[in-house]
Structures are given as structure tokens and as C-alpha cells.
């Protein structure tokens, strides 16, 4: 798809507040600045690259080694995983985490809201390329409300004639001072699968810490509570709420997995934690939609 930055600015730009630019790799980016916060949103992947509340630092982490190239995912920010989370259930050749983060999304709406926030809605529908990977008609919208907090709603509607099921995640990379020193609240007593394990464990501690010297890759199931990142090093606390999600994924690759990832700079794992509202469990937590039905997965986060 070809975008004309001038045409996007003419149709959707808001003077002083919303500007379209050619971002890294020539991928079009919406830059939002309002009195409450600022943000950058790539049309490639409907991928939020930054969210900075006024007077504060960015809440999101971006990899210094990220690709900005069609066909490859951007590393950091909020990749949208859709219509499957993780590897494809039956075909390893299909892209990990689906095609949502690898697709060019269209702008559907940009508006200034009465409370000073800015609303941007991006849209993706089936195409020859998506039908090859997933044989279903759909419309997905990603609604971003950039205010004191960041709200993101990923709504998927079945526009075809048959039922379908899918999984999804808002794979949010939060910037932290030092993975050894942060703690995450909101997971106490929740049941989780760790890595490839098929047996459930229960989180006994009130706060989750990451100083075990290994990768953390946990899927907390039937988990709907808010989480909070306590970060003494950055002297801040980020609260993360969600809706339409039964699974919370918590991930940090640690050194060993980081070494295998070409798009994370050495030591990069030290400065992020992923907390991901998801519906991500083939056979358990898939979303099923009949023709005409919709499902919305949402998250909201900000400083508290
Ligand atoms: O959310 C955790 C996870 O599924 C991990 O298993 C890890 O591989 C990560 O996502 C990153 O996936 P990606 O395809 O972006 O390299």
C-alpha cells in the first residue's frame, strides 16, 4: 500500500496536534502532541512506538536494534498480535504472532476530544495476503486514545458468512530502570503456565520480581485484574488495566534468549518488561465469533 504523507496530513492532520511523517524505514507515523501527552504511532502494524505523559518520560520501550521494514515486526512499543498469538498452531511457516503487526493499516478517524485527548482509529480488513494466511473476512479497528493515560482497543468483527476463532494480545513493552529491581503487583494467587510447561503453578508472592537470572515467560490464566509496575529506579508506578482478556502474559527474555534475538541490542532486556493483555490459549481461551459478531480487547495504562 502506498501512502502520501501530504494527503494524510490534509485529510487527517490537526494543526499543532496531529502530524503524519515518514518515520524510520520510510514507514508512515502519526505524531500526536496534546496538552496531556504525546505519542507516535506507526501505520505499519498499527504499532504504538511511544507514549509520554506531559512532563514525564516515555512509558514504552523501543529496541535500538529494531527493524523498521515491511515484512518484519517492529521490536518494542505495542505490537498487535492477531489473529494468533505465538507460533501458528499447525503451520510453523506462518508468521509468529499473526499478520496484524506485519500489515499496513489505514487511517479511519482522527479527532480531538473535549477533555484534551486525541483519538486515532486505524483499520485493517481482509486482503488477498491475509486470506492466504487466514481464510476469513474480518474488519479490525485499533482505537488509540492519547490522553493522561493511553487507551487502546482492538476490535475485530466477523464480516464473513462462517464462524471463526482467533487469539490476540497487546504485546506491550514497558520501559523500566532495571529488570533486577522492578516488581509487578496484581498477580498474587493467580495461576500461570511458565514457558512450555503444561502444569499450572500459583503465584505465591504478592509482588513478582525478575531477579531469578532466567527468562520469564508466564501466561496467567483467568486473570482479569489490574497490574502495576513498581519502579524505584525511575521513581514511578505504571498501572495497567485491561478488558476483554482472560490471559495476562508477562515476558522478559533475559540474557540467553536475548542473545538469539537480532533485533534487541546487547543488554536490552535489562530495561523492559512486557505485560500483555491477551486471549492466547488454543483450545481454552480462543475468541469465537459468528458472522456479524465482534470482540474488543482493551488496555489502558498510565502513571499513578
Ligand atoms: O509474549 C511472549 C512471547 O510470545 C515470547 O514467547 C517471545 O518469543 C516474545 O513473545 C517475542 O516474540 P517475537 O515474535 O516478537 O520475537
pLDDT of residue 1: 53
pTM of the complete model beyond 0.95 = yes
The grid coordinates of residue 83 equal 489473529
pLDDT of residue 281: 79
86 alpha carbon – ligand 1 mean position (Å): 6
Of all protein residues, the one whose alpha carbon is nearest to atom 9 of ligand 1 is: 251
Q: Tell me the C-alpha distance between 25 and 16, whole Å.
A: 24
pLDDT of residue 45: 98
Of all protein residues, the one whose alpha carbon is nearest to atom 4 of ligand 1 is: 86
Q: Ligand 1 in contact with 249 (CB < 6 A)? A: yes
Q: Tell me the C-alpha distance between 154 and 144, whole Å.
A: 9
In this structure, are residues 30 and 40 in contact, taking their beta carbons and an 8 Å threshold?
yes
- Strand ordering across the sheet containing 37-42: 18-22, 28-33, 37-42, 47-53
Tens-digit pLDDT string for the chain (304 aa): 556 999 999 999 999 999 999 999 999 999 999 999 999 999 999 999 999 999 999 999 999 999 999 999 999 999 999 999 999 999 999 999 999 999 999 999 999 999 999 999 999 999 999 999 999 999 999 999 999 999 999 999 999 999 999 999 999 999 999 999 999 999 999 999 999 999 999 999 999 999 999 999 999 999 999 999 999 999 999 999 999 999 999 999 999 999 999 999 999 999 999 999 999 877 678 999 999 999 999 999 999 9
DSSP 75: -
Strands (E), 132-286: 138-146, 150-158, 164-166, 168-170, 172-175, 183-185, 191-194, 201-202, 207-209, 216-221, 227-231, 236-243, 247-252, 272-279
Of all protein residues, the one whose alpha carbon is nearest to atom 13 of ligand 1 is: 96
Q: Ligand 1 in contact with 264 (CB < 6 A)? A: no
Q: Tell me the C-alpha distance between 57 and 236, whole Å.
A: 10
39 alpha carbon – ligand 1 mean position (Å): 24
Amino acid at each position: 500500500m502506498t501512502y502520501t504523507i501530504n494527503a494524510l496530513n490534509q485529510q487527517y492532520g490537526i494543526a499543532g496536534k496531529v502530524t503524519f511523517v515518514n518515520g524510520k524505514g520510510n514507514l508512515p507515523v502519526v505524531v500526536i502532541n496534546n496538552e496531556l501527552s504525546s505519542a507516535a504511532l506507526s501505520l505499519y502494524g498499527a504499532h504504538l512506538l511511544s507514549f509520554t505523559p506531559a512532563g514525564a518520560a516515555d512509558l514504552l520501550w523501543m529496541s535500538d536494534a529494531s527493524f523498521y521494514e515491511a515484512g518484519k515486526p517492529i521490536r518494542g512499543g505495542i505490537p498487535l498480535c492477531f489473529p494468533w498469538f505465538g507460533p501458528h498452531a499447525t503451520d510453523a511457516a506462518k508468521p509468529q504472532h499473526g499478520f496484524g503487526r506485519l500489515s499496513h493499516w489505514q487511517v479511519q478517524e482522527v479527532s480531538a476530544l473535549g477533555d484534551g485527548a486525541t483519538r486515532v482509529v486505524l483499520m485493517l480488513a481482509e486482503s488477498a495476503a491475509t486470506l492466504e494466511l487466514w481464510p476469513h473476512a474480518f474488519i479490525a479497528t485499533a482505537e488509540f486514545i492519547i490522553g493522561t493515560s493511553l487507551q487502546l482497543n482492538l476490535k475485530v468483527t466477523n464480516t464473513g458468512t462462517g464462524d471463526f476463532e482467533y487469539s490476540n494480545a497487546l504485546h506491550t513493552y514497558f520501559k523500566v530502570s532495571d529488570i533486577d529491581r522492578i516488581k509487578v503487583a496484581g498477580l498474587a494467587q493467580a495461576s500461570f503456565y511458565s514457558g512450555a510447561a503444561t502444569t499450572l503453578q500459583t503465584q505465591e508472592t504478592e509482588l513478582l520480581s525478575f531477579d531469578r537470572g532466567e527468562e520469564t515467560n508466564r501466561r496467567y490464566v483467568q486473570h482479569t485484574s489490574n497490574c502495576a509496575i513498581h519502579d524505584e529506579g525511575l521513581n514511578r508506578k505504571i498501572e495497567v488495566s485491561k478488558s476483554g482478556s482472560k490471559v495476562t502474559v508477562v515476558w522478559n527474555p533475559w540474557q540467553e534468549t536475548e542473545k538469539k534475538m537480532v533485533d534487541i541490542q546487547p543488554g536490552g532486556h535489562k530495561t523492559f518488561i512486557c505485560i500483555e493483555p491477551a486471549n492466547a490459549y488454543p483450545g481454552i481461551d480462543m475468541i469465537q465469533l459468528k458472522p456479524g459478531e465482534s470482540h474488543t480487547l482493551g488496555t489502558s495504562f498510565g502513571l499513578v
